[in-house]
Amino acid sequence: MTIHHLRRDYRYGSLKREEMPSDPMELFHAWFNELRGLELPEWFEVNAMSLSTHRLDGGTACRIVLLKEIQSDAFLFFTNYLSDKGREIEANPKVALGFYWPILDRQVRIEGHAEKTDDRISEHYFHSRPRSSQLSANISPQSEIIEHESLLAEMVEALDQKLQGADVPRPSHWGGYRVVADKMEFWQGRPSRLHDRFRYTKRIDGMWQLDRLGP
Ligand SMILES: Cc1cc2nc3c(=O)[nH]c(=O)nc-3n(C[C@H](O)[C@H](O)[C@H](O)COP(=O)(O)O)c2cc1C
């Protein structure tokens, strides 16, 4: 079978304008909770999302990060502020997020801007992580070239010995971002590629405008 022939029909559901809430966060919560209520294999990380940023040279970059909290107006993830993505967000905070949930034939696309969370939130999440992840966050030069395979393990070992069992401090270069949405699109796969797409756009008065888009 060639890649050309890889296709499936989407039949799970449909979206009707009269059923769309005025606040897209409400629909996001409903979809997310529906997923979390399903019996899913462990490898299916419902909170995995693509994060696109503007490269410093004018290009674009995309990678997966994990959604760790939903606030009333924002989506949170945690990372190294000195990584490529951290430096890119510093220079241009406009970002896009993407979720694909094949079990429900759904996609959600989010556009907006990213801002650092306050330190309290980063501290709280950092200390809820396993000790091994806390050690890695301290030593990993995320996005930098690594010369020797053993380097990271040696650095973790050295830090662990130095701490002698004491709490691992959160490095100041590690923390959260909140992505505040100004556009959110909900896509429901339909048979014969006649998918339902609804896009919410934040208006200047703070209300959301809702439009159906061609699939
Ligand atoms: C399933 C999955 C989850 C990930 N979650 C995170 C995350 O929450 N934070 C993070 O910094 N990197 C995460 N990564 C690694 C990123 O995709 C990426 O490799 C890393 O952040 C470096 O990206 P950058 O060089 O563009 O900054 C994850 C990767 C995968 C595949």
Give first-to-last CA distance, the chain, whole Å.
Answer: 26
Nearest CA to ligand 1 atom 7: 65
Q: Give the Å distance between the CA of 207 and the centre of ligand 1.
A: 33
CATH superfamily of 3-121+172-213: Electron Transport, Fmn-binding Protein; Chain A (2.30.110.10)
Hey, where are the domains in the chain?
Answer: 3-121+172-213
Q: Tell me what pLDDT residue 149 has.
A: 86
Tell me if 50 sits within 8 A of 62, measured CB to CB: yes
pTM: 0.96
Q: Indicate the top mutation candidate among 45, 54, 66, 92 to test ligand 1's pocket, ranked by most ligand atoms within 8 A of CB.
A: 66
Taken in order 43, 104, 66, 56, is the CA torsion positive or negative? positive
114: left (phi over 0), alpha (psi -120 to 50) or beta: beta
From first to last of the 215 residues of the chain, give the pLDDT tens digit.
899 999 999 988 999 999 999 999 999 999 999 999 999 999 999 999 999 999 999 999 999 999 999 999 999 999 999 999 999 999 999 999 999 999 999 999 999 999 999 999 999 999 999 999 999 999 999 999 999 989 999 999 999 999 999 999 999 999 999 999 999 999 999 999 899 999 999 999 999 999 999 99
